[in-house]
Structure 1
Amino acid sequence: MTSFNQQINRENTRAVKYELRDKLFERDDVLPMWVADMDLPAPQAIQDAIMKRAEHNIYGYTTHDDALLTTIQQWVKRRYDYDIDQSLISFSPGVIPALHALVESMTEEGDAIVIQPPVYPPFFSVVKNHNRTIVENPLIYDNRTYKINFEQLEEQFKQGAKAFILCSPHNPVGRVWTEDELKQLADLCVKYNVYLFSDEIHSDIIFSGSKHNPIASLNDDIQALTFTMMAPSKTFNIAGLQASFTISPDEESKKTLDTQLMKQGIVMLNTIAYTAMEAAYQHGEPWLEELIEHLESNFNYLQEQLQDTPITPVRAEGTYLIWLDFSETGLSHEDIKQKLNHEAKLGLNDGQSFSEEHGDQFMRMNIACPRSMVEDGVERLIQTFN
């Protein structure tokens, strides 16, 4: 039984979550509950595998083999009942480098690419940086949850969008899209021949009552348009090891993606990344099931404690990132930030970074930490805003 309530001191480990506090929050004594890594130890099996590999003491260029590909294939089949062709797997240091490669290789300058704010901030830059046109299909906020504006989306596809970037599950709003929603989305992509770049990095962390379906698994027609991006990084708290993979729809598409990855200087992962990925997918599942229970318990606690406050947590169906609605405080965005930074001394992700218009009254909170840290963060919110 893993203890997820063990306090681990991350000071002086060059951890981004701690080292950047002064720069982001104007002080270095905030409780950091922002960037998407966990204040929880990774599975022991990963540490053991890394230590064993480290003892070899030669860390030269390292490649993947069929055993690793089979491990990934089996994980996806076991977790999602999705049969993937392991010959269509490409590796990259992260989902964002893969997205850059997809935008560059599968679209042309000026092409319209649809995203759904409020959404993971790099989705904006990955379009802009390659001189493509951002088309926003904002999610509709209603009764503490979000839904897709399919009517607007079809119109955007009809007007000639070349690609669509899906966040599934969605970061930051915590939606795990239902099979019906995904089918409706898939049908539109097929109808208008729109490439689908599906960021499914949070797909392993799903709360009870929800189920993740890789959109490419729905039928052959949508699979032919979809590049699915997954990784063990968020799941097992190994983001710093930089390892992800993309499943292409066919051999020709994979070759196009791989060529672009090589142009970006991405040829192979680091030695330890391969080791950790294999250990995670071979031995990490029991740990993951315990983690999900811990995260869901943390969310339920957060929700219960904030029910009589002007801060409303959006209903979370997955991930460990909670979208907090501050609109009932009556405060401006800047006032909310200042009170968080200097009164609560609580470091949360700025909602405007996910969308200036649709994140103005929101902040993102990371609850992948010991319960005591969640309790501390919640108490700071209550004392400051109630």
Structure 2
Amino acid sequence: MSTPPSPPGVGRADGPSVRIGALVPLTRPGWVEAGRHLLAGLELAVGEVNEAGGIVGRPLELVVRDTAADPQRAATAVDELAGLGVAALAGEYHSVVARAAATRADALGLPYLCSSAVLDALTEQPTEWVARLSPPQSRGWQIYADFLLGAGHRRIAVAAQPSVYWAAGTRILRDCLAPRGGTVIELDMSALSPAAVRDELVDQRATALLLLVGHPDPAVPIVESVRRDQRLAEILIGAPAGQPEFAEWATALGDDGAGVPFLRYLPERLGPLGARVEKVLRERLGEAPSFVAYEGYDTVAVLADLLRSHGTDRARTAESWPRVAVEGTRGRIQFSRTPGIGVWQWAWPPVQVVDRDPGAPDRFRVLHAG
């Protein structure tokens, strides 16, 4: 799959294309709605690059591969895309999948700008080949822990499925909460039903339940079960990984899906570029774009700047991460080395804790920012 051509008379680039490989979850069990938004942002930016003359007169082409949230499928796609001669890789939403892609890109010497995955350990060892736009999990989830403590929550249950990503999130929460008097209670969703979760919450006197599970199942059944138990009328349900960001959540849960705080990577106000991109993405998607769509747009904006400035040689691209200075939809993007993170990292992407307003579930409320 590749981006559709620009309308006649608009594109001014010609000659052999410069290719970027894009990894996107487009089928189940991948988070398809997140993949759709990510791809919309990537494609919009590619179209605008080509309308502005491409990469030094050559059209930019997006070569898309569906990862379906499968790490092995992603690694295979990286091999294929490298063989097709792509100048760089972009994309991916799922952290465990992005880790597999980053590991393979590092081994092949292929520059990879990760759009949306947050797992701190994106690679096991430091690498020059990989950079990332989304904030590391340790930063975002610490901000979420600050929000919980500020809201008065000290006994926090996490309903978690087995996963490197969920385990890392649990560890971050515990490390942030324990020194300040908070307790994290782990509920193993490989052994508990949604009904059993309710009883555990009551027995453990938890005041908050965090969903560290897949969407829609078992996240949706857990929320429905807890919302219908009067013993838990005052409990806060949270989803730090961002499930309520997407319309699919509101469609599945209706009013039950409101008031569930999650992490979102947007500023308080979009600047002129972000506002313009928001308008176009809204038209393309038929709904408000998620932060994932902006991440997709910004990914191509950064790669296009690198390719224009330093050419399409892969080694030169990788050497140029620290020289990036690009105005993105959510702020100025620059990469640096962050302690404990093995890839080049945009150090200060905006982070918010947001929920859907119970009085108007289509509207988001910013509860905390960091």
TM > 0.5: no
Structure with greater strand percent:
2
TM-score (norm 1): 0.34
Instruction: Pick 1 or 2: higher relative contact order, CA cutoff 8 A, min separation 6.
Output: 1
TM-score (norm 2): 0.35
